[in-house]
């Protein structure tokens, strides 16, 4: 009898399954999230999964996790998705409306991992209904910082950072003592070209740019790491996430990627978060928050760690950092222009239409031209404003890329 009562109490105390949605489930972050959820099936119920065009993997994930909805952004792939899900009872959707529908599903926790500007509409949809959003899409805050934060505030939502750097700061930040925070310190690996000369970088191939020394990431994010634009975008993201002025956010190159970021306090203390180079660690932190869950990530062996080194980023070889700071200082539409131009330039580079050093050059030219064009406009107040500017910037950037080197 006593055993029965103990069992009943244990069952009552155990948390119910967390209902989750993964926006961008077939990308690197999405696949890691799927694996973590599959490893603890009793703890999660999957509402929706989305992909850009990889119908085969999306359908496989949806069946594996028992998702209720699967949506593909490329609406020409709708028939293929519907066929792949035939007989499963899983609903299929496509296009931007399908992604938004996924964001609107009644999941209490949403992984926002769609790369680029395309991830903004479903993330906004999740924010407006009050979801806890694990944010791995830095472009959402870069392009729509105020708009997204207003949606979070008005909807009663919560943002949990998933980028390893911002998640590290989140873990190190003493929220009850914010006035004592002196600065945030974002670490950067330096990418594959950290020690290359400008002449060598000028001839860098896409295959070399995506070969990150520490992290396994998608092609676009890997190129951003090679140009260090990813760190510039992360600086803008940190400004919005932690309400920190640009001049109090420092970037330091840490090639070993063991320390993921730090918070410096007024008394001279610096609190750092360390871990293996495994995205499952920050994903799991957000997935289980405010609890913690086990992951298969390797544990640090401090006795075997090599030296941990730090250096300042080179502003000549990596001008993207300067461009990001300038865009953040200007505000208004400048961060949108920065991001949109960069997405087009990186795509053109991956298609071998422009050279590696052309990426930052084209972004700077577009940023200067388009910022002047929009300087008299009021700051964006909603998605439609942002989308209209995004399309114009992309058109301008495509023209510059098509002109070649």
DSSP string, 349-365: HHTTSS-HHHHHHHHHH
Cα–Cα distance measured from residue 145 to residue 141, given in angstroms and rounded to the nearest whole number: 4
Cα–Cα distance measured from residue 256 to residue 248, given in angstroms and rounded to the nearest whole number: 24
160 and 187 Cβ atoms separated by less than 8 Å: no
Lookup: tokens for 42: 């009793």
> Which pLDDT value is given to residue 140?
87
119 and 139 Cβ atoms separated by less than 8 Å: yes
**Degrees, nearest 5: CA angle 349-137-94:** 85
Cα–Cα distance measured from residue 268 to residue 211, given in angstroms and rounded to the nearest whole number: 37
Region 12-161: CATH code: 3.40.50.720
What is the number of H-type helices and E-type strands within the chain? 17, 11
- Cis peptide upstream of residue 34 (ω within 30 degrees of 0): no
Kindly give, in sequence order, each residue whose CB lies less than 8 Å from that of residue 132, ignoring residues fewer than 6 positions away. Answer: 108, 109, 110, 157, 158, 160, 289
Side-chain half-sphere CA neighbours of 357 within 13 A: 11
> Which pLDDT value is given to residue 381?
81
> Which pLDDT value is given to residue 215?
66
Q: Which residue has the tokens 């992604």?
A: 99
> Which pLDDT value is given to residue 404?
67
In the 8-state DSSP scheme, what is residue 354? Answer: S
Q: Which residue in 44, 73, 80 sits closest to 59, CA to CA?
A: 80
Cα–Cα distance measured from residue 40 to residue 20, given in angstroms and rounded to the nearest whole number: 13
Burial string for 97-109 (b: 16+ CB within 10 Å, else e) reads: ebbbbbbbbebeb
Please tell me the chain's helix, strand, coil percentages from 3-state DSSP, rounded to the nearest 5.
Answer: 55, 15, 30
Residue count of the chain? 405
23 and 50 Cβ atoms separated by less than 8 Å: yes
**Domain definitions of the chain by residue range:** 12-161
- By CB atoms closer than 10 A (0-12, 13-18, 19+), residue 60 is middle
> Which pTM value belongs to this model?
0.90
Which helix (H) or strand (E) element contains residue 274?
strand 270-274
Angle between helices 334-350 and 356-374 (to 10 degrees): 150
357 and 198 Cβ atoms separated by less than 8 Å: yes
CA dihedral 240, 246, 250, 256 (to 10 degrees): 40
> Which pLDDT value is given to residue 3?
39
Side-chain half-sphere CA neighbours of 6 within 13 A: 3
**Which residues of the chain are modeled with pLDDT < 70?**
1-15, 215-216, 404-405
Considering Cα of 32, then 238, then 159, then 342, what sign does the dihedral take? negative
Lookup: tokens for 122: 């479903």
Which residues sit opposite 112 in a β-bridge? 23, 135
Q: Which residue has the tokens 């999964």?
A: 49
């Amino acid at each position: 009898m006593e055993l029965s009562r103990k069992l009943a109490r244990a069952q009552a105390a155990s948390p119910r399954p967390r209902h989750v949605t993964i926006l961008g489930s077939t990308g690197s972050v999405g696949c890691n999230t799927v694996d973590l959820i599959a490893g603890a099936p009793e703890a999660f119920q999957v509402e929706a999964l989305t992909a850009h065009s990889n119908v085969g993997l999306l359908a496989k994930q949806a069946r594996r996790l028992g998702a209720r909805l699967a949506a593909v952004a490329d609406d020409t792939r709708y028939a293929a998705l519907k066929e792949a899900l035939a007989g499963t009872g899983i609903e299929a959707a496509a296009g931007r409306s399908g992604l938004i529908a996924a964001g609107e599903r009644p999941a209490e926790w949403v992984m926002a991992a769609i790369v680029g500007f395309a991830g903004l509409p479903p993330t906004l949809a999740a924010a407006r209904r009050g979801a806890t959003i694990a944010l791995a899409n830095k472009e959402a805050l870069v392009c729509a910082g105020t708009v997204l934060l207003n949606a979070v505030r008005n909807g009663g939502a919560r943002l949990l950072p998933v980028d390893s750097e911002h998640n590290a700061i989140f873990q190190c930040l003493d929220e009850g003592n914010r006035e004592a925070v002196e600065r945030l310190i974002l670490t950067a690996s330096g990418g594959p070209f950290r020690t290359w000369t400008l002449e060598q970088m000028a001839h860098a191939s896409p295959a070399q740019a995506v070969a990150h020394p520490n992290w396994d990431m998608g092609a676009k994010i890997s190129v951003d790491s090679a140009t260090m634009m990813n760190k510039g975008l992360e600086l803008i993201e940190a400004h919005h996430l932690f309400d920190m002025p640009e001049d109090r956010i420092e970037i330091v190159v840490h090639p070993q990627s063991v320390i993921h970021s730090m918070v410096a306090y007024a008394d001279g203390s610096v609190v750092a978060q360390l871990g293996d180079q495994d995205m499952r660690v920050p994903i799991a932190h957000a997935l289980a928050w405010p609890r913690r869950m086990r992951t298969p990530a390797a544990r640090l062996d401090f006795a075997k760690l090599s030296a941990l080194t730090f250096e300042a980023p080179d502003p000549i070889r990596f001008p993207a950092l300067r461009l990001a700071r300038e865009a953040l200082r200007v505000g208004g539409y400048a961060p949108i222009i920065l991001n949109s131009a960069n997405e087009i330039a990186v795509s053109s580079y991956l298609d071998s239409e422009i050279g590696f050093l052309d990426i930052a050059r084209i972004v700077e030219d577009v940023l200067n031209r388009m910022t002047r064009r929009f300087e008299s406009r009021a700051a964006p107040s909603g998605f439609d404003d942002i989308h209209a500017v995004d399309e114009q910037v992309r058109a301008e950037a495509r023209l510059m890329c098509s002109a070649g080197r």
